[in-house]
């Protein structure tokens, strides 16, 4: 089964919204670094994935902290 990202039309209507700006940014990066556009796109994907993972961890930590504070407040251990 082929990856949906590799099939034509995988953006499902998002191309008018993110397509032109993303293409422009990748083209600009390629022209200013001298690297092929596919390499610039691959680097952008890796960096964005790492940033997403870090932000997801941070969001989970904040949610757990808020939940613990809410439970402690509800049990009367903490008063505000």
DSSP sequence for 23-53: HHHHHHHHHHH---HHHHHHHHHHHHHHHHH
Which residue has better confidence, 80 or 73?
73
Q: What is the pLDDT of residues 40-74, one digit of tens each?
A: 788 888 888 888 888 998 999 999 999 999 999 99
pLDDT of res. 17: 54
pLDDT tier at 18, thresholds 50, 70, 90: low
pLDDT of res. 80: 78
Flag whether 20 is in a domain.
Answer: yes
Domain count, the chain: 1
Distance from C-alpha of 77 to C-alpha of 79, rounded to nearest angstrom: 7
Domain that holds residue 26: 10-74
Flag whether 79 is in a domain.
Answer: no
pLDDT of res. 38: 79
Flag whether 55 is in a domain.
Answer: yes
- The model's pTM is 0.47
Q: Which long-range contacts (CB under 8 A, 24 or more apart) does 75-80 make?
A: none
pLDDT of res. 6: 52
Flag whether 45 is in a domain.
Answer: yes
Flag whether 29 is in a domain.
Answer: yes
Flag whether 34 is in a domain.
Answer: yes
Sign (positive or negative) of CA dihedral 58, 61, 65, 66: positive
In degrees, to the nearest 5, what angle opens at C-alpha 59 toward C-alphas 4 and 66? 145
């Amino acid at each position: 089964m082929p990856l949906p990202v590799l099939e034509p039309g995988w953006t499902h209507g998002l191309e008018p919204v993110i397509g032109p700006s993303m293409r422009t940014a990748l083209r600009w990066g390629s022209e200013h670094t001298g690297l092929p556009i596919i390499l610039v796109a691959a680097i952008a994907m890796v960096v964005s994935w790492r940033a997403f993972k870090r932000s997801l961890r941070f969001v989970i930590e904040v949610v757990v902290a808020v939940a613990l504070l809410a439970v402690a407040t509800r049990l009367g251990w903490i008063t505000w």
